[in-house]
Amino acid sequence: MIKINNLTKTYFDENNNNYHALNNISLEIEDGDIFGIIGMSGAGKTTLIRCLSHLEQPDSGAIFIGETNIADVNNKKLKSVFKKMGVVFQGYNLLEQENIYDNIAFPLKINNIKEDAIKKRVHELLNLVNLADKEKSYPSKLSGGQKQRVAIARALASSPEILLCDEPTSALDPLTTKSILDLLLKINEKYKTTIVIITHEIRLIKMICDKVAVISAGKIVENGAVEDVFLNPRNDITKMLIKEGL
């Protein structure tokens, strides 16, 4: 279970004006959920996922992964908790100088996993994401959908229990989007991975999420089961997102 309590993050611009990118966010995500977080550009989605993946330190609040509060930098269990998390970044963030095999192997190499075990795992993942024939290719030779599948395979390398995906299909056409979403569904079903998807696209939420939270100006304005929230939207932002998504 991921439990976010009263999370805040404030940024300051060059004129020292403050901006509440996350303004008292509380949210619960249960094990095995495919949980969508939807909001418009600038709503705070990437900031939230960066706090969840420890790339950003919140100003206050707590993020419990199981029993461990990862917003507490002094917590000694942080490292073992982060091994349970994989992140697919907005934009693919692949290593352009490395081939696909080495991109996927990267998190395993830095964790000193033995060469044989790495080879076995990378080949498993290449098969899972349907890129077995591309292991020697370099990222520049791949399509956007293929790069996204490499990014997903890399995020899964250490067999995480939680997969965080920031706009996993925003640059992709509808058919490729469907293939990526089918892959995420397969991962959720096969490994019971909890998947958190950040997006601004309502159709993506409708296609694979069980639950959804709507974020606007750093606040969660509505959340619940996808059909409840979309059939009975209460907040104006939710209504607008639904209207735009038709």
Ligand X SMILES: Nc1ncnc2c1ncn2[C@@H]1O[C@H](COP(=O)(O)OP(=O)(O)OP(=O)(O)O)[C@@H](O)[C@H]1O
Q: How far is the CB of 202 from Mg ion (least distance, A)?
A: 16
Strand pairing category for 219-225 and 34-38:
unpaired
Residue nearest Mg ion, Cβ-based: 46
- 238 touching Mg ion, by CB under 5 A: no
Closer residue to ligand X (CB): 48 or 129: 48
Positions 147 through 176 that interact with Mg ion (CB under 5 A) = none
Q: How far is the CB of 126 from ligand X (least distance, A)?
A: 29
Closer residue to ligand X (CB): 11 or 60: 11
Secondary structure E strands in 173-218: 194-199, 211-216
Among Mg ion, ligand X, none, the one that 117 touches (CB under a kind-dependent 5 to 8 A) is none
Q: How far is the CB of 236 from Mg ion (least distance, A)?
A: 21
Closer residue to Mg ion (CB): 126 or 151: 151
Q: Name the packing angle between helices 144-156 and 115-128 (round to 10°).
A: 140
Among Mg ion, ligand X, none, the one that 42 touches (CB under a kind-dependent 5 to 8 A) is ligand X
Q: How far is the CB of 197 from Mg ion (least distance, A)?
A: 12
The secondary structure element, H or E, covering residue 56 is none
Binding site for ligand X (CB under 6 A): 11, 19, 21, 39, 41-47, 90, 200
Secondary structure E strands in 157-200: 162-166, 194-199
Closer residue to ligand X (CB): 20 or 83: 20
Residue 131: both structure tokens together? 């890129």
Taking the C-alpha atoms of residue 182 and residue 202, their distance in angstroms, rounded to an integer, is 16
Supply angle C-alpha 92, 200, 153, rounded to 5: 30
Strand order in the sheet with 2-12: 18-29, 2-12, 60-65, 68-69
| Longest Cα separation, the chain | 54
Task: Name the residue among 198, 126, 123, 139 with its Cα closest to residue 163.
Answer: 198
- 69 touching Mg ion, by CB under 5 A: no
Taking the C-alpha atoms of residue 124 and residue 122, their distance in angstroms, rounded to an integer, is 5
Closer residue to ligand X (CB): 26 or 90: 90
Closer residue to ligand X (CB): 88 or 131: 88
Q: How far is the CB of 29 from ligand X (least distance, A)?
A: 18
* Residues at the site binding Mg ion, with contacts judged by CB under 5 A: 45-46
